[in-house]
Structure formats: C-alpha cells, structure tokens
Amino acid sequence: MGIWDVPPLMDGGSITAPRGGFYNLKGEWDVENVGVAPDVPVEQTPKDVAAGRDPQLERAVEEALKLLEPQKVEILAEPAPPVRAQRPGQVRR
C-alpha cells in the first residue's frame, strides 16, 4: 500500500490512510499482507530484549565482519598501451 498527500491538521499533527496498491508484472496485487522477507532470519524473543540482548544486531555485526575477511585478488598484467594514431609508413604491431 502507498500513503501520500498527508494533509496537516490544525494542531500541527497529521493522519495517514492507505491510498494505493501495487501489482506485479503478472497482474497480481503485490506487497499486500506480506512483509519484507529477511535475508538472514534471526529469532528475537522478549526474553532476549529483557536481558538486554539484541540478536538481530549481533547477527548483523557477524555478517558485516564476514565482509571484511580477506578475499583473493588476482592482479592482472597491464596490457600494452593502445595505438591511438599511426604515422604514414608506420607498421602496426
């Protein structure tokens, strides 16, 4: 659903109401009653929150640190410079 044209109220507040839906290339309604599926599912319970733990943040940091691990990099030899112009009588190699 989409929300736009949010008019201000007299007291400076505002209200919103769903105003539009979206459909996919198959002609089916999309983004209806479906949230964004996580790339990495992490369970976070009220017990975790009460204990001051944040399993989602902990896993996010774990995933970010994986990106910092050394990656194999292959350094290629520099190619010969391109011939941009040719003088009369010069033979290209």
Count of Cβ atoms closer than 10 Å to residue 23 Cβ:
11
Mind listing the pLDDT tens digit for each residue in 27-61? Answer: 887 776 666 778 999 999 999 999 999 999 999 99
Give the span between the Cα atoms of 78 and 91, in whole angstroms: 23
Over the stretch 61-89, which tens digit does the pLDDT of each residue have? 999 999 988 888 888 898 888 877 777 87
Give percent above pLDDT 90 in the chain: 32
| Straight-line distance from the first to the last Cα atom of the chain, in angstroms, rounded to the nearest whole number | 63
Q: What integer pLDDT is reported at residue 63 of this predicted model? A: 94
Question: Structure pTM?
Answer: 0.43
pLDDT for the residue 90: 74
